[in-house]
Amino acid sequence: MKKINGNVTTPKGFQASGVMAGIRKKNRKDIALVYSEADCVAGATFTTNRVKAAPVNWDISILRNGLSKHAVVLNSGIANACMGEQGVKDNFAFAEAVAKELNLKPEQVFTASTGVIGQPMPMQVILPGIQEAAKALSDTNEGGKNASEAIMTTDTVSKTVACELTIGETKVMIGGMSKGSGMIHPNMATMLSVVTTDINIDEALLQEAVSAAVKDTFNMISVDRDTSTNDTFIVLANGLAGNEKIVTKDKAYEEFAAALFAVCEDLAKKMAHDGEGATKLLTCEIYNAKSKEDARVLAKSVISSNLVKAAFFGSDANWGRVLCALGYSGVDFDPTKVDITIAQEKDKLDIVKNGMAIDYSEEVATMMLSKDNVSFVVDMHDGAFDATAWGCDLTYDYVKINGDYRS
């Protein structure tokens, strides 16, 4: 498996577009469409927030309806959340308009929305926008790029990835896009993400691969400890690569699952790095925890801590905050066994041994923490399980962005 330059249009048979409908702001792409004329099987995960947006409930209802899937339509600007029956009607109209343009049934179209909660969808501009998006569909890299830009809200960069792998003697492609910068603390979902692939695979096995990949990628990032009402991750597979259909968890399945994991990890890290107001990517690597779940919880607790994130912004090696975050995670461990190391590329600096500070250079620690991508490496000395989580620093700009998000 190798990563290549590409996006959701890289796999065979997929087209995409991104257009400006004027949902909240003019001169900004805000409707994205991803489409395969060939029948697709789908795998997906969604937010576990009890307050779910209309498109999330729609997608859950159609995921296993027995129909082939062909499209995902997404909008930015308005979340279509907490809008009652009107939100349900608007979301159906969203799917129905795509179905009409592409000669599909509405139940073959996934929907996704992101933006302000509690405001109505401006259907008077969305419906013409869908017509434009359908006309603009393209299998070019530009089509995928436009789609990735159309789902951005406070994101500063679009997020795409692609890879190729060989199943038997057949070349298979996977491409993806995601958005996410704030309200990022996924739980069994992402923010908004669509991945396409031309692999031929059983739908139940695709779902297993999707669910497995999410656990240690999208679910291991946090920007602000807020799980969105709209988190949606959808994978479409149209089988056009022509490989022998994957129907068991054999070598071909494992190779695909590993590639899908790599795509999800790439997108997850890009979202964490582009957290609202963020200047740096923070990684926490937990080693030798008592269980895999303990390792996940510990790593996520560190990168989610506002005090750790604030110290990271100030390049302050305040290791006590790291130990504190481990301590309130709910995991049972012996604090007197914990070692903490700062790692930045090939450079490493031990700062805590057996739960206490050792003699280290504050100047060197500050210099390392001022870099773009830094890790806290934590050895629990309590078992044989590892996990990694990704977050970002907490800056003044985060408060500014969220203080006037609706204006």
Catalytic residues: 190
In single-letter form, the type of residue at position 292 comes to: K
Check if the beta carbon of residue 249 is closer than 8 Å to that of residue 197: no
Give the chain's count of helices (H) and strands (E).
11, 15
Give 138's DSSP letter: B
Q: Kindly provide the residue ranges of all beta strands, DSSP E only, lying in 87-155, ordered along the sequence.
A: 109-116
CA atoms within 13 A on the CB side of 292: 3
Closest Cα partner for 275 from 297, 296, 306, 234? 306
Closest Cα partner for 94 from 59, 49, 61, 47? 59
What's the rounded Cα separation, in Å, for the pair 335 and 247?
46
Residue 18 contacts by C-beta under 8 Å, 6 or more apart in sequence? 29, 31, 32, 33, 133, 136, 143, 145, 146, 147, 148, 149, 150, 151
Closest Cα partner for 161 from 263, 272, 36, 271? 263
Residue 83 contacts by C-beta under 8 Å, 6 or more apart in sequence? 54, 90, 118, 119, 120, 121
Check if the beta carbon of residue 235 is closer than 8 Å to that of residue 210: yes
Q: Any idea which residue has 């790593």 for tokens?
A: 299
> Residue 82 has which token pair?
């907490």
